[in-house]
Structure 1
Amino acid sequence: MQTQTSETLRRADPAPTPEWDAIIIGAGISGLFQLHCLRDRLGMNVRLFEMGTGVGGTWYWNRYPGARFDSESYSYAYSFSQELLDEWDWSEHFAGQPETERYLNHVADKFDLRRSISFASKVTACHYHDDSRSWVVRLEGGSWHTCRFLVTAVGPLSAPTLPKVPGQESFAGEAYHTGLWPKHPVTFEDKRVAVIGTGASGVQVITEIAKTAKTLTVFQRRPNWCKPLHNRPISKNEMKRLRAWYPEMFQLCEQTSAGFLHTPDGRRTFDLPPDEREAFWEKQYGTPGFSMWVGGFKDMMTDRAANDEVSKFVARKIRERVHDPKVADLLIPKDHGFGTRRVPQESGYYEVFNQPNVELVSILENPIRRITPTGLELADRDFAFDLIVYATGFDAITGSFERIDIRGASKAKLKEKWRAALETFLGVQIADFPNMFMCIGPHTALGNIPRSAEYNVLWITNLIQYMRQHGYTYVVPRPEAVEDWTSFVLKAGEGLLSNDVDSWMTGINQNVEGKQTRIIARYSGSAPAFRARANAVATEGYRQLEMC
């Protein structure tokens, strides 16, 4: 290890033999399993750099009140270790952040992963060196390390963004972003609280804050369709039954479209008479989790008329739950149909707006002008607050990569490359970036993240094992393979109503410069189809990759 400036880093001539066989960035769900596979299964010399002071990734940073799973806890667990499955009991069907963080710490301890992790180590640059076929990884503070293989496990939702509103530093009270929540206790009791944003994180934190805040003002730009979570505790006997179900459950997750316990119904919306459609939606609305989003009629995401019908059903539910018709109308989306953006799962969210201490303010046509030392200023009104919560989301999918200065062969800059065209191979590799792998990168199967992450990690691990067995030290996807995969991703998204909507899933972020144009940032096909193509690459001898 040496300490150098950024300019020296670009001129650094690393040793012919890299310091590490592999470096992993990020100690979340993907990074922890990748570390276990490369170090413990392949016997490689591996270092993992983590920006935080503990493991958990998403579940380390997003510790805001109300943060919890919206996919079933047991389907979110690692499947690679039977012993781990046997010894861990989930307390709720949809676990809260503290329990999930404890689980991931348990995994880190059980497999002795911490000895290979450097905490409080923020990666600022990764440069590939053609002559030594190695990567130079620079940390904040100036130290740098070399490795043969670089694995990014930085997560699709890990680069928080703040609204483009002036004066944020001037606010004299407390202010927190949900994705950067502090470890110290935050109390809302007897405080005037503002929450900006009503996405998935906003829906969860708003529901909790409303319980104790003196006043809560919710600033909403565009509402989202939300569905009840229906969470409940898991008894010891039920956990015993769930544990016996694990083999069948994980097999089911492999077969479903998005890796969840739910998959689209095989019928079309208008195949059923109105009363039967209504009964189907009523049942789904009362079913826990993502059933109504990913388990609806098969034409819900492609037929606008079909989508309109389910949207009307959910709109009626909102009106039934919110007493003030004007407030209810503000909470009903007008710019997208149900399921075409991520559907937050809620536990009493709509009832919050019946409380006398809660006010909903639309900022779509009357945006926030500035943050002041005492609160917020709109065109027609000033607000005073003691505490502001920014539930303003993330620079999704590509943002966490773009915050690192990543340069590949011939010093190609990843950010510039993706600005010209977002192209990958299997969402795992990038042309002109040899020996670099992405776990949950753009154009990979998302859905139930741990199910996708485990597959991605094993695919990367098997490729590296193949290279080591054949004495290869260089791998990069061939241009035609990148073109073929990117075309496949684009084709998989054709006809989807969700790709006609502004959201993080289409690369839109009004708070990030240059991200106001829709792109296909994710793979929208089925997880089984993704795995079939990725498996074929391996079984056919990795012909799509250049190795030497």
Structure 2
Amino acid sequence: MPHTKGSPTMTSATEVDKAVQQFDAVVLGAGVSGLYQLHQLREQGLNVRAFDAAGDVGGTWWWNRYPGARFDSESHVYQYLFDESLYTDWSWSQRFPDQPEIERWLQYVTERLDLRRDIRFNTRITAAHYDEERGRWTVHTDQGDVIDTQFFISCAGMLSAPLKNIEGTDTFRGELVFSSSYPAEGLDLGGKRVGVVGVGATGIQIIQTIASQVGHMTVFARGPQYTLPMKNPTYTQADQDAYKARFTEVAAKLPHTFSGMEFEWEHTWEGTTPEQRQEILEECYQDGSLKLWLASFGEMFFVKEISDVVSEFVRNKMSERLKGDQHLIDTLIPTDYGFGTHRVPLENGYLEVYHQDNVDLVNVRDNPIAQIRPEGIELSDGTVHELDVIILATGFDAGTGALTRIDIRGREGRELADEWGRDIRTTMGLAKHGYPNLLTTAVPLAPSAALCNMTTCLQQQTEWISSAIKDLREEGKTTIEPTEEGEGAWVEHHDEVAGATLVAGTTSWYLGSNVPGKPRRVLSYLGGVGTYRQKCDEEAANGYPAFVRR
């Protein structure tokens, strides 16, 4: 559609006439949130269609097929909680299942709720323009669809826009893949020289999984991560029966905890002796989960001296496993930020991989990757590492990237990519001023990915959206949009909460620091899942004072 930047965007009558499909709501994405959003809106009687660029359901769990991909939330909490039989009729095989099993679970949900008939796969939404005169959105896809809809709801995911910012990827004469689009059939790595770029959560899972398969592996590491060892037992029938019997308890508890998991802060720093603190840290560490991060001492997020003690505890644990090798310690153990202020990956034998004879670790913090060459990876000092296979685990444009890569235009032709390119603002992460009936999950300023069990958070956000639409329709109104003042108040609250933590002073994807030129703001709401839910519920109960509804 022709458009001069900054001028109003109008949807022409001709364009509307071309619309072969009309819906009450269009849902972007068929992952955890998109499936549940589709189900809820259909239950209200709305005519809804979901679109996904993937070949089937799963969202993140369809795209991330790389070796070693698995949960780091425990399986009994990474579930839908609105239907007990849906919960109990599925049995997880492990505490932390892998990607193929997770994908099968989402297919089970899809078939159980009969969702597939209202989902278009292999179809990417490329544009969505709001027509002020008609109060509706015109949505375009890469398959040529023109869709007329009242509500446009994004369930695209917090980490769904991969970064591909290394030069020369198209020149490599071997096999090069991004972790976010790893081939489902896998790669033949036997006897080959494999380079892995990135040691974040994804890179860690890949490295520990393929180290025994490759001929030789070279890991290119820039930002070191605190890691925790995963304990991942296989579930027996008795284990499955035990967690299923707790459904009512789990469903009542998760929405109100700080992280959306079962973890609660059980201890206070001031109320314990130094000896007791070490015992608590050790007990949490030995749990083999994220408990040390999310249920030891909450003060570590606010008080540097406490953060230093906890961080040193984790550094010592990692150093022991690295057997005092100074190169490994300097490259893999963080010293410039505190434990928990970045995403904490769980791993299984990851650090031990670096003791293998067929593994080399290259520190690219001070000697960064310059480009990909036909024969391999060239560093800034001119060193070239010759490789047969390159796997890039280089991260995502978190929170905003999924939507800024779509041509989304609201009132008066305003462009979402342009606005978020200058300042990342939302109202509770559920909507954006200037974009009526655009409702969102897993975007900035809501809990998502950071300090949040995603199923808990996404269920709450989709339920709020569904209730807001229901309330609107029952009152005979057709549009909902945040006010500028309401949005400003939420941004101020969000920044005040984030600014009180040590997270705000770090450099990571939590603040968009991994994307050149991206405005700096803590992307996820850090006030806690339960607190966020309470504030969202209060907004609805008070008649949506931060919104204008017409």
Aligned pairs for 1:281-300 (under 5 A) are 281-300=281-300
Equivalent residue for 1:273?
A: 273
* 1:289 maps to amino acid: S
Aligned pairs for 1:92-241 (under 5 A) are 92-162=94-164, 164-241=165-242
CA distance in 2, matches of 1:228, 1:312: 16
CA distance in 2, matches of 1:331, 1:288: 20
Equivalent residue for 1:470?
A: 475
Identity among equivalent positions (%) equals 36
CA distance in 2, matches of 1:222, 1:530: 30
CA distance in 1, matches of 2:2, 2:123: 16
1:27 partnered with 2:30: yes
CA distance in 1, matches of 2:365, 2:128: 39
CA distance in 1, matches of 2:117, 2:246: 34
* 1:353 maps to amino acid: Y
CA drift at 1:217 = 0.6
CA contact (8 A) 1:445 1:522 kept: yes
CA contact (8 A) 1:502 1:518 kept: no
Count of aligned pairs? 538
CA contact (8 A) 1:228 1:288 kept: yes
Aligned pairs for 1:6-21 (under 5 A) are 11-13=11-13, 15=16, 19-21=22-24
Deviation above 4 Å: which 4+ runs of structure 1? 5-11, 14-18
343-352 or 476-485, larger mean C-alpha shift? 476-485
CA distance in 2, matches of 1:537, 1:345: 36
Equivalent residue for 1:385?
A: 387
27-36 or 282-291, larger mean C-alpha shift? 282-291
SS at match of 1:137: strand
Residue 77 (structure 1) aligned to one of 75, 79, 88: 79
CA contact (8 A) 1:368 1:376 kept: yes
* 1:60 maps to amino acid: W
Aligned pairs for 1:443-462 (under 5 A) are 443-446=445-448, 447-462=452-467
Aligned pairs for 1:269-418 (under 5 A) are 271-323=271-323, 324-378=325-379, 379-418=381-420
CA contact (8 A) 2:61 2:103 kept: yes
283-292 or 377-386, larger mean C-alpha shift? 377-386
Structure 2, unpaired ranges of 5+: none
CA drift at 1:440 = 1.9
SS at match of 1:537: helix
CA drift at 1:11 = 4.6
* 2:90 maps to amino acid: W
SS at match of 1:66: coil
CA distance in 1, matches of 2:182, 2:371: 22
Equivalent residue for 2:261?
A: 260
CA contact (8 A) 2:11 2:130 kept: no
CA drift at 1:97 = 0.5
* 2:440 maps to amino acid: M
CA contact (8 A) 2:10 2:131 kept: no
Can you list the C-alpha shifts for 1:5-40, whole angstroms capped at 9, x where unaligned? 66699653365998100000000000000000001x
Structure 1, unpaired ranges of 5+: none
CA contact (8 A) 1:66 1:205 kept: yes
Residue 70 (structure 2) aligned to one of 65, 68, 71: 68
CA drift at 1:201 = 0.3
CA contact (8 A) 2:11 2:131 kept: no
Equivalent residue for 1:59?
A: 61
CA contact (8 A) 1:160 1:180 kept: no
CA distance in 2, matches of 1:273, 1:543: 47
CA distance in 1, matches of 2:163, 2:47: 35
Equivalent residue for 1:42?
A: 44
Can you list the C-alpha shifts for 1:137-169, whole angstroms capped at 9, x where unaligned? 01114331110011000000000112x332111
1:439 partnered with 2:473: no
CA drift at 1:325 = 3.1
CA drift at 1:368 = 1.4
60-69 or 445-454, larger mean C-alpha shift? 445-454
CA distance in 2, matches of 1:64, 1:249: 31
CA distance in 2, matches of 1:87, 1:42: 25
Change (3 A) 1:105 1:391: same
SS at match of 1:389: strand
CA drift at 1:103 = 0.4
SS at match of 2:308: helix
* 2:41 maps to amino acid: L
CA contact (8 A) 2:300 2:306 kept: yes
* 1:508 maps to amino acid: S
SS at match of 2:264: coil
SS at match of 2:195: strand
1:542 partnered with 2:544: yes
TM-score (norm 1): 0.95
CA drift at 1:229 = 1.4
SS at match of 1:300: helix
CA RMSD of aligned residues (A): 1.7
CA drift at 1:513 = 3.8
Change (3 A) 1:255 1:11: closer
CA distance in 2, matches of 1:225, 1:114: 40
CA drift at 1:348 = 0.6
CA contact (8 A) 1:19 1:146 kept: yes
